[in-house]
Structure 1
Amino acid sequence: MSLDQAERAVGARLLHGERNWWFLGPGGVARLGDGHVTPEGSLRPGARRQLLERGLLSGGAVRSYALTVLTSTHCNLGCGYCFQNIAQDPTGGSRPPRMPRTRLTSATITSVLDFTRRQMAAVGLEKLRVLLFGGEPLLNPHGCLELLERANDIGRTSAWMISNATLLTPALARRLGDLGLDSVQVTFDGDRADHDRIRISRADGGGTYDTIVRNIARASEVSTLRWGLRVNVSQENFDGIDALVERLASQLDPARCSLYFARVGDVGIGYANDLLHSGELAATFSRWQRRALDLGFTVNRPDAHRSCSTCGHTGGRYGAVVSADGSLASCWETAGKPDWDVGSVTGGYLPDEVTKDRWIGCEDLYRYHDDGATLRTFRDSVDAALLDYLHETGRL
């Protein structure tokens, strides 16, 4: 809907729900009636004043430095859509060629942490949030553990990991949790049969669904880790998502898990997702979210558009992405890729005139067949329906 320039600058959103309007600002969410919004879909002056007085239009200050570190650029899975592939497997198998293989070492960890200290001091931040990333980060478990332990010395207050979970043992989960890892994001590519056809082992082309679920369940028994379950959606698995939600609820503890649905972008070399953000897709996403909530999963509440701590600011002001060899990237999408580095932890960031064409944002490399307006309409519709349901069920 229509917001003024100042409201758009802080990422505010105005969504039309089924019975009311929703305002999402950097300071929180407000439910508005028709009297607060003009027929054209703009805030009335009185509503804007109330939102200002309640602090919903005030931008929240950055409190933690966001450090993403690739502990390994290699991966043990061969997903055809992966943005880190440099080609499809010419044999049609499970081994698509990937970006160069590197592995985080103790010496590089020293350089990463020295670099992070300097970056944090430059903006006066004393708290650090670490993301363990890859490739598959658990192909280098010692790098993960050492980085977590040593980051304590520079103010690490939280940490999370994006992993396929196929290598996560109970003993490793316990050690990671003891060193401060809070949560792990794990991807599912549809219900078991679809997942096992898409998310496959590079070693033998075998499926991974049962291994992943087993490892999450066993890790949950010995640690306090929480789980962010990302469900990839494409034309290849769309019909099985309802069954997947039910299956995950029966196999895992929903109270320990959040569930997030995302269309797979056309980011892999030679990969295309023909599922569009139009028609009934928004209503289907909303149905999945409602069912997930009813089963006890957390579904994250929509909020204002926020600038990414890492790629949203040049020069690593509030965050940095570091590959396993110590090279810097603007975003995790380009980390480890040849010719996309924007500096190194030893030499710092390259001049802006060098990096301007390499500075990629979170979604810049994601390609959709829909135009931008269709994509925004889809997201606004799904988010408004979720807020409606959270309010109706007393969860907001």
Structure 2
Amino acid sequence: MIERITSDLKDVVGPTCEYSASIVTNGYLLTPDVARRLAACGVTSAQVTIDGSKSDHDSRRILHDGSPTYERILKNVKECADIIDISIRSNVDKTNIEAAQELLDYLELNGLMNKVHFYLAPVDDINQVCANDSHCFTVKEFSYEETEFYKRAIARGFKVQPFGGTNFGICCAVGINSYVVDPVGDLYKCWDDIGMKERRVGTIFEPPMLSKNMINWMAYEPDDPECQECFAFPMCMGGCPNHALNGEGKRCVSFRYDAEQKMLLSQMMNTAKRGAGQNEADA
């Protein structure tokens, strides 16, 4: 499917336009052969989602028959890291944040410390039906945990992404040409909405139409008074538009709550990179 879509897209943009793509995947089928085929399609990077430690991940992200997935996913990451740029996103909440350090142990033991990027993302009850929403961090709580986790990771030599979960500037979902296509061809503006039919903005099988949902997205303005007084507003532009449009309150970026610490993390990363570069030069 990706190969066919890529061919069609390249025909549309023509030979004078540079084409590239990225993929978000659970990593279970990301074998070296698949990675090479993706690279041939112009896919330059893959984000692989892992939910912390082996025990936590295999209790949450299993196959339909209950089989675990952790070891196979990380085996694929190890075998594909030299073929395609890989970023690991680890979903965390109050129950698995500490054990998530075990994932770093695995990456270090398998020589992946300097081959993959890594960032944390908070588990979010996006459709308000999660029975364990009390386990989810508030943004302020997550900001502290995120900073402390990254400090330890950087000290160990990992390439983390201190701003990995942050949209600097307004979310691309607000853009007129940004869509998410689900497996049955329905169109959405945000991937959090997939499966919620009432939030569709169209379908690939019908001509474009100016639906009510589409009008709401196109009319979105980050005009919340509190946001406009916040120092972080020029960077986050009001946070998550989807939360605002659906009456779910603001979804501020964690940077708002500990900007100084986040900037220090960035400095730590830059210092670590310079040190690594100097070591390579000396060698």
Q: Please give the TM-score of this superposition, normalised by the length of structure 2.
A: 0.72
Of 60, 68, 72, the match for 1:207 = 68
Give me the whole-angstrom Cα distance separating, in 2, the residues matched to 1:169 and 1:241: 24
Alignment of 1:175-194 (within 5 A): 175-194=37-56
**Corresponding residue of 1:308:** 171
Question: Helix, strand or coil for the counterpart of 1:255?
Answer: coil
Question: Helix, strand or coil for the counterpart of 1:386?
Answer: helix
1:288 aligns to 2:152 (yes or no)? no
Q: Once the 2 structures are TM-superposed, how far is the Cα of residue 383 of structure 1 from its aligned partner?
A: 4.3
- Letter of the structure 1 residue corresponding to residue 150 of structure 2: Q
Q: Once the 2 structures are TM-superposed, how far is the Cα of residue 263 of structure 1 from its aligned partner?
A: 1.2
**Corresponding residue of 2:132:** 272
In the alignment of these two chains, the number of paired residues is 243
Of 331, 339, 364, the match for 2:243 = 364
1:218 aligns to 2:79 (yes or no)? yes
Q: Is the helix fraction higher in 1 or 2? A: 2
Give me the whole-angstrom Cα distance separating, in 2, the residues matched to 1:366 and 1:251: 44
Contact kept in structure 1, 2:216 and 2:245, CA below 8 Å: no
Contact kept in structure 2, 1:277 and 1:378, CA below 8 Å: no
**Corresponding residue of 1:145:** 3
Q: 1:246 to 1:276 in 2, by over 3 A?
A: same
Question: Helix, strand or coil for the counterpart of 1:339?
Answer: helix
Contact kept in structure 2, 1:234 and 1:273, CA below 8 Å: no
- Letter of the structure 1 residue corresponding to residue 264 of structure 2: D
Q: Is the strand fraction higher in 1 or 2? A: 1
Give structure 2 stretches of 5+ with no counterpart.
221-239, 274-283
Q: 1:152 to 1:194 in 2, by over 3 A?
A: same
**Corresponding residue of 2:230:** none
Percent of aligned positions that are identical: 22
Contact kept in structure 1, 2:188 and 2:202, CA below 8 Å: yes
Give the CA RMSD over aligned residues: 3.3
Q: Once the 2 structures are TM-superposed, how far is the Cα of residue 262 of structure 1 from its aligned partner?
A: 1.3
Q: Once the 2 structures are TM-superposed, how far is the Cα of residue 304 of structure 1 from its aligned partner?
A: 7.1
Give me the whole-angstrom Cα distance separating, in 2, the residues matched to 1:365 and 1:247: 38
Give me the whole-angstrom Cα distance separating, in 2, the residues matched to 1:364 and 1:280: 19
**Corresponding residue of 1:98:** none
Give me the whole-angstrom Cα distance separating, in 1, the residues matched to 2:110 and 2:259: 27
Question: Helix, strand or coil for the counterpart of 2:199?
Answer: coil
Contact kept in structure 1, 2:162 and 2:266, CA below 8 Å: no
Give me the whole-angstrom Cα distance separating, in 1, the residues matched to 2:97 and 2:179: 35
Q: Once the 2 structures are TM-superposed, how far is the Cα of residue 377 of structure 1 from its aligned partner?
A: 8.0
Of 106, 115, 118, the match for 1:247 = 106
Of 210, 228, 231, the match for 1:351 = 210
Q: Once the 2 structures are TM-superposed, how far is the Cα of residue 206 of structure 1 from its aligned partner?
A: 2.0
- Letter of the structure 1 residue corresponding to residue 243 of structure 2: D
Give me the whole-angstrom Cα distance separating, in 2, the residues matched to 1:343 and 1:263: 29
Give me the whole-angstrom Cα distance separating, in 1, the residues matched to 2:59 and 2:137: 22
Contact kept in structure 1, 2:154 and 2:269, CA below 8 Å: no
Q: 1:200 to 1:329 in 2, by over 3 A?
A: same
- Letter of the structure 1 residue corresponding to residue 119 of structure 2: Y
Of 177, 190, 199, the match for 1:318 = 177
Q: Please give the TM-score of this superposition, normalised by the length of structure 1.
A: 0.53
Give structure 1 stretches of 5+ with no counterpart.
1-142
Larger Rg: 1
Question: Helix, strand or coil for the counterpart of 1:193?
Answer: helix
Contact kept in structure 2, 1:340 and 1:358, CA below 8 Å: no
**Corresponding residue of 1:388:** 264
